[in-house]
Amino acid sequence: MKTNTGSFPIGFRRRRSPWEQDLGHVLAWAAANDLEVVDVGGDGDVAGPQVIAAGLRLGSVDLPRWKGMIS
């Protein structure tokens, strides 16, 4: 699914809510609902390859230890 203006892919950010913990289920849901992009947290090294294998794109990946970057 893309936006009407600019044809940008539509997706969502995976957070820590209980239903989003089963990544395989979340990715199947995203694909079934024509979403194209998933933003993941600090587990990008694990979640990223799974997102790509599901035929979706990575929108963004958080740094694993971002607090250390700002101190």
pLDDT digits (tens, 9 = 90+) for 23-35: 999 999 999 999 9
pLDDT of residue 71: 65
pLDDT of residue 16: 83
Q: Which residues of the chain have pLDDT under 50?
A: none
How far is the C-alpha of 26 from the C-alpha of 64, rounded, in Å?
Answer: 21
Q: 5: number of CA atoms within 13 Å, CB side? A: 0
Confidence (pTM) = 0.83
